[in-house]
Amino acid sequence: MTDLAVHTPDAAPQDAPVLLLVGSGYRPYREYILAAVSKHYRLWLLDSAEATWQSAYCTGATRVDTRDAEAVREAALAVADSLPVVGVFTYDETQVVFCARLAQDLGLPGSPPEAVTNCRDKAATRAALAAAGVPQPASRTVATAEEALAAAEEIGYPVIVKARAMAASFGVVRADGPGDVAAAFATADGTEFMNLPRYPENVLVEEFLTGPEISVDAVVHDGRVMPTVIAHKRLGPEPYFEETGHDVDARDPLLADEELLDQLGRIHRALGFVSGATHSEFKLTPAGPRLVEVNARLGGDLIPYLGLLATGVDPTVAAAHVAAGREPDLTPKHRRAAAVRFLLPKGRCRTVEVVVHRDRFGPTIHETGTTAEPGDELALPPAAFLTRYAHVIAVGDDLEQVVADLREPERLVELRADVLPG
């Protein structure tokens, strides 16, 4: 089934090249990508659901089961037969490996599927980096709780226990001692998310790294790794690792940190990643940067949007350009600070309403977004992940002022809810 798009006034011209967009994502966190990229390319969407809000940004859309690789391939070939398709574009974690194969089949730019698999499979990442001599935390792949306990005893507590192939911090738990390992293993091994794969040895036990955590979004063109955004991460309640915010400063000295940039380049070379967008997470340990994981996609949680607000350069458009085989211009237009806070409930509850208190906004508050509707049930990990009710974004010339204005985001966007048992 095909839907013709309604073009926005500043959409790409009718003769612009076409990108195949596989999956569109959650509208509150992903619409900005379609709005930006559609100004440079005509987008043809391949997605499992009927196109609705996406139609304003797309030349057309094919409804196809994105879990069926052959069906998507046939749909893509049908579009490529009639339109000038120049690349395959996705920011959907569940689609990155398939899209690498699709680009390869169509003779379009991209990294080899094996390189994308090396990013998607955290055990494969560790093996490739170990073979290349890249410093990283100790890591063991395990199949049982008993093996997890033995690995933890060998590595030393605390340890991180994580699912091998999940995303968005699903199935990531800290175990502080032997008594925590079985429950942590059960959480990691039992986590399922959007049909991501399971393995016979499905869990990693890793050394716990100390220090602040950052993410580095980058685009890679002809093997050249070009950072677009460095975000300083804020995390929710332990022992889980749900992200509650990110701070971005266009003047961040890490953008010129030789050790970090050297490791970033070595990591991509070790994985064989030569073209596309990546989102890498590091701990800044006393011994230097250490990779937590690398993903073959744009960052989530509005991180690329923060990069745009901070620099005036859109990382999503840069990712689209490399998907089309073009080198992007990443010269900053300005240097500002931007940050986001995601608001979580205090416990299990049912939403009554979300109230925005604009009279409480500080000078740098830029926008708010609501992601819970009346009647929605919310909870904290491990019962649920990503059950946020809102977010708040601040932008300004001074990072300290931005952070100060976001110090109590719950006062700015208030959740009114009924407490539920459990």
CATH of the domain at 403: 3.90.1170.60
> Per the domain annotation, does 330 fall within a domain?
yes
Q: How confident is the model at residue 170 (pLDDT cuts 50, 70, 90)?
A: low
Dihedral over Cα of 51, 376, 246, 333: its sign: positive
* pLDDT of 101 above 60: yes
Residue with tokens 């080198």: 327
* pLDDT of 172 above 90: no
Q: Given this model, what pLDDT does residue 420 score? A: 96
> Do 344 and 330 reside in the same domain of the chain?
no
Which of 5-9, 206-210, 229-233 bottoms out in mean pLDDT, i.e. has the lowest?
A: 5-9
> Per the domain annotation, does 384 fall within a domain?
yes
Peptide bond into 137 cis (omega under 30): no
* pLDDT of 196 above 80: no
Q: Given this model, what pLDDT does residue 168 score? A: 56
Last residue of a domain, one of 66, 91, 108: 108
State how far the alpha carbon of 7 is from the alpha carbons of 4, 12, 22, 48, 50, in Å.
Answer: 9, 9, 19, 22, 17
> Per the domain annotation, does 113 fall within a domain?
no
Gap between the Cα atoms of 205 and 384, Å rounded:
22
> Do 278 and 390 reside in the same domain of the chain?
no
> Do 264 and 357 reside in the same domain of the chain?
no
Q: Given this model, what pLDDT does residue 9 score? A: 44
> Per the domain annotation, does 122 fall within a domain?
no
> Per the domain annotation, does 291 fall within a domain?
yes
Q: How many CB atoms lie within 10 A of CB 8?
A: 13
> Per the domain annotation, does 277 fall within a domain?
yes
- Segment 365-373 shows an average pLDDT of 96
- Segment 271-278 shows an average pLDDT of 98
Q: What is the Cβ-side half-sphere exposure of residue 360, based on CA atoms within 13 angstroms?
A: 15
Q: Given this model, what pLDDT does residue 237 score? A: 74
Q: Given this model, what pLDDT does residue 193 score? A: 65
Phi, psi at residue 333, to the nearest 5°? -90, -25
User: The tokens of 363 are what?
Assistant: 């000078």
What 8-state DSSP symbol labels residue 59?
A: S
**pTM listed for this prediction:** 0.92
Last residue of a domain, one of 306, 335, 364: 335
> Per the domain annotation, does 129 fall within a domain?
no
Which of 3-7, 47-51, 52-56, 135-139 bottoms out in mean pLDDT, i.e. has the lowest?
A: 3-7
- Segment 258-264 shows an average pLDDT of 97
Q: What is the pLDDT of residues 306-365, one digit of tens each?
A: 999 999 999 999 999 999 999 999 999 999 999 999 999 999 999 999 999 999 999 999
Residue 415: which of 391, 389, 384, 393 has the closest Cα? 389
Structural domain including 154 reads 138-207
Gap between the Cα atoms of 162 and 170, Å rounded:
8
Q: How confident is the model at residue 3 (pLDDT cuts 50, 70, 90)?
A: very low
Mean confidence (pLDDT) of the chain: 92
> Do 265 and 347 reside in the same domain of the chain?
no
Gap between the Cα atoms of 97 and 110, Å rounded:
11
Q: What is the Cβ-side half-sphere exposure of residue 13, based on CA atoms within 13 angstroms?
A: 2
> Do 346 and 277 reside in the same domain of the chain?
no
Gap between the Cα atoms of 122 and 144, Å rounded:
17
* pLDDT of 4 above 50: no
Name, in order, each residue with C-beta under 8 angstroms of 199's C-beta and a sequence gap of 6 or more.
Answer: 121, 123, 164, 165
DSSP H helical ranges for 197-302: 258-271
- Segment 376-382 shows an average pLDDT of 87
> Do 213 and 277 reside in the same domain of the chain?
yes
> Per the domain annotation, does 128 fall within a domain?
no
Q: Given this model, what pLDDT does residue 381 score? A: 77
> Do 154 and 169 reside in the same domain of the chain?
yes
Gap between the Cα atoms of 293 and 125, Å rounded:
8
* pLDDT of 279 above 80: yes
Contacts of the segment 259-266: beta carbons below 8 A, 24+ positions apart: 259/288, 259/289, 260/216, 260/289, 261/227, 263/134, 263/135, 263/288, 263/289, 263/291, 264/216, 264/218, 264/225, 264/227, 265/225, 266/132, 266/134
> Do 185 and 222 reside in the same domain of the chain?
no
Q: How many CB atoms lie within 10 A of CB 188?
A: 25
Instruction: For the chain, give the number of residues.
Output: 422
* pLDDT of 1 above 70: no
The CATH number of the domain holding residue 158 is 3.30.1490.20
Residue with tokens 């893509």: 76
> Do 233 and 344 reside in the same domain of the chain?
no
Q: Given this model, what pLDDT does residue 108 score? A: 97
Which of 207-216, 300-309, 380-389 bottoms out in mean pLDDT, i.e. has the lowest?
A: 380-389
User: The tokens of 6 are what?
Assistant: 């309604």
The CATH number of the domain holding residue 79 is 3.40.50.20
> Do 320 and 221 reside in the same domain of the chain?
yes
Q: What is the pLDDT of residues 13-52, one digit of tens each?
A: 888 999 999 999 999 999 999 999 999 999 999 999 999 9
> Do 351 and 381 reside in the same domain of the chain?
yes
Last residue of a domain, one of 67, 89, 108: 108
When computed from its CA atoms, the radius of gyration of the chain, rounded to whole angstroms, is 21
> Do 297 and 394 reside in the same domain of the chain?
no
Q: Count structural domains, the chain.
A: 4
